[in-house]
Amino acid sequence: MPKTYNNVYSYMRELLCRNTGWTLRSLRVPALALLLSPVWGVGGAATASAQETPVTLEEVRRMAAEGHPDVLAARARSDAAFREWDVARAYRLPSLAAEFDAVRSTDPVAAFGSRLRQGRFTEADFAPHRLNEPDALGDWGAGLGLEWAPLDPAASSVARASEALARAAGLGSDWAARAAAFRAELHYLESVGAEAHLHAARTSAQAARENLRVTERRMEEGLATEVDVLQARAARENARAEVIRAERQIRDSRERLGLALGWDGDRIPVPADRDFPSLPVSTRTLAARDVEGRPDLQASRARLVASASRVEEARRQRLPSMEGFARVGTHAHAPLSSPEANWTLGLRVRLPLFTGGALTNRVQALEAERLATRKEHDFLVREAEVEMGEAIRALESAEDALGAAVAAARASGEAARLMRRRYEQDLATAADLVTVESRAARDAAREVSAATSRAMAAARVRFLTATHDRPETPNSGDSR
């Protein structure tokens, strides 16, 4: 009759003593509590209150591309860049401003000018003492001012640079969305692989339990030794440990998937798919794809255009600029008195003659920055080409490895089945069976790992071959 225990604590104490050779007196409670803490503490509390939510692969891609914090931040930066572009091209339209001022002063020049503007100047105001020491005079003024710079070569270059930076930010936002979707897809595939690994581990554990049952029965019949039973029991415990590890991997992969989706800890995503997706195109087709169509490389090229426009803007500061201005205003000595109106209309042409070398140094600095941007862009393109080649070769290798792993798993599984039959017929030893069963379990796990690696390699190839068809001139700012 099996022994009964009052609680789990008593069972774990005796189990630990039986496996380690300790006595109940030498076994201290803190040590056992330390061993049990991962089971009773962190593992259960982390997911006890979380709600499991089934998700498909397409839903995972979409939710990550729409709601991940990195994507939201990139979109905010893109919107800010388009606003800056609006600011940079605002010079094309005239600016209108309303003015109001109230002044009270005993300054001779202010008093003289204010009387003239108010239309209250008399012959007595020419008296020397009134000119030198005037009484305090108030002036209430209001007006409208208009300014417009129809010719400003430097400002037009600034606008082009801002346009290129806005386009780069928009492309960067698109790439951030694709990157977030790719990361979420990897974690999704990892979670699917973890579930497949758990299924394989449970199958192996079931076989190990059956082997132990048969071995114990054979020992009762005198056909097996205690060593055979101990080996079968060790194989069962190893298989059970593999199940525990697979269950932990599932929890870890699901939490990482939730983090990739930008979810809070109150929801845990559960993959609805059980099969890995296949790559829709061949590697030969992928090898001919142009990597420069990727949004991140297009964004780098746009930043290069912006850098060149900044150099052009610095050089154009040597050219003349023209600005027109107009003003209509009124002046009165009191708020409710009759105002005197006046207007001003003018044209200003500005040509820098000497700046102390500031323009020359700025051109040289921006030219060096443009050269650095060019070098960085060329390196990014080359790096993308190498990365693409690596991804294609990794996919081809993963496909070959998956084929080999499937063949090995089938062969070792059939070998384990035959060896189990031979063992039941007393034609093989328990050690032979344990060896073959262990190899079958390892090969089954390798098949799952190979399938996961192949799916991830295919996802990486899809991600690296993503192109962008956005027009050269962004439309986001046109509506504002």
b/e map 214-241, b = 16+ CB within 10 Å: bbeebbeeeebeeebbebbeebbebbbe
pLDDT of 289 reads 57
Read off the pTM.
0.75
What is the amino acid identity at position 414? E
Q: Is the CB of residue 304 less than 8 Å from the CB of residue 310?
A: no
- The residues near 279 (Cβ < 8 Å, ≥ 6 apart) are 395, 458, 461, 462
Identify which of 115, 109, 105, 113 has the alpha carbon closest to the alpha carbon of residue 332. 115
Q: Please, where are the H alpha helices in 221-260? A: 226-260
> Phi-psi bin for 57: left (phi > 0), alpha (psi -120 to 50), beta?
alpha
pLDDT of 290 reads 64
pLDDT of 73 reads 95
Q: At which residue do the structure tokens 């005239």 appear? A: 94
State how far the Cα of 7 lies from the Cα of 12, in Å rounded to an integer: 9
pLDDT of 169 reads 95
| Largest Cα–Cα separation, the chain | 140
- The residues near 53 (Cβ < 8 Å, ≥ 6 apart) are 267, 268, 269, 270
Q: Across 85-136, where does the E strand assignment appear?
A: 95-105
Q: Is the CB of residue 167 less than 8 Å from the CB of residue 302?
A: yes
Hey, is 99 helix, strand or coil? strand
The two structure tokens encoding residue 139: 């002036």
pLDDT of 278 reads 62
Strands 321-332 and 137-151, bridge-based pairing: antiparallel
pLDDT of 145 reads 92
Q: At which residue do the structure tokens 């209108």 appear? A: 96
Query: What is the 3-class SS of 279-328, one letter each residue?
Result: CCCCHHHHHCCCHHHCHHHHHHHHHHHHHHHHHHHHHHCCCCEEEEEEEE
- In sequence order, the β-bridge partners of residue 148 are 324
Instruction: Work out the burial of residue 290: count CB atoms within 10 Å of its CB; fewer than 13 is exposed, 13-18 middle, 19 or more buried.
Output: exposed
- The residues near 368 (Cβ < 8 Å, ≥ 6 apart) are none
Ordered mean pLDDT values, 10 residues apiece, the chain (480 residues): 42 44 42 36 48 92 93 96 94 91 88 82 77 84 90 91 95 94 93 90 87 85 84 89 93 93 89 74 52 88 95 92 91 84 91 90 94 95 91 91 92 88 81 84 89 91 72 39
pLDDT of 473 reads 39
